[in-house]
Copies of this chain bind each other. A is one copy, B any other.
Amino acid sequence: MDFIRRGGTRQAAFDRAVALPYSGSMLTWEDLAKDLSIQTESKIVLLVIDGLGGLPLRGKTELETAETTNLDRLAMRGCCGVTDPVLMGITPGSGPAHLALFGYDPLRYRLGRGILEALGSDVEVRQGDLVARGNFATLRDGLIVDRRAGRIATEECARLCAVLNAALAARKDPEVTLTPGKEHRFVARFRTAGLSDALTDADPQKDHKPLVKAQALDAASAKAAAVVNAFLDDVIKILAAEPVANAALLRGFSAQPSIPLMPDLTKLRPAAIANYPMYKGLAKLIGMTAYKVGQETEDLFTTIEAHYAEHDFFYVHYKKTDAAGEDGNFEAKVRAIEEIDAFLPRLEALKPDVLVVTADHSTPALMAGHSFHPNPFLLVAPTALPDETGVFTERECAGGLLGRFPSLRAMPLMLGHAGKLKKFGA
Contact = CB atoms under 8 A, between A and B. Distances in A.
A205 interface: yes
B257 A22 contact: yes
Given A87-B412, A367-B7, A412-B87, A426 B94 contact: yes
Interface in A1-59: 1, 3-4, 7, 10-11, 14-17, 19-29, 32, 36, 55-56
Contacts of A251: 17
A372 interface: yes
Contacts of A19: 200, 217
A398 B205 CA distance: 44
B423 A370 contact: yes
B405 A383 contact: no
A416 interface: yes
Interface stretch (A100-108, A120-128, A136-144, A186-194): A100-108
Contact of A200 (B17, B23, B368): B17
Contacts of A338: none
Contact of A116 (B15, B414, B426): B426
Nearest to A403: B404
Given A36-B90, A258-B24, A424-B106, A3 B366 contact: yes
B4 A421 contact: no
A397 to B, nearest CB: 10
Nearest to A406: B88
A29 to B, nearest CB: 6
Interface string A243-260: 000000001101101100
Interface string A214-232: 0001100000000000000
Contacts of A116: 426
Interface residues of A, number: 100
A112 interface: yes
A395 B368 CA distance: 35
Nearest to A364: B383
Nearest to A114: B426
Given A403-B403, A416-B90, A426-B95, A20 B383 contact: no
A48 to B, nearest CB: 16
A366 to B, nearest CB: 7
A26 B197 contact: no
Interface string A338-375: 00000000000000000000000000101111111100
A92 interface: yes
A91 interface: yes
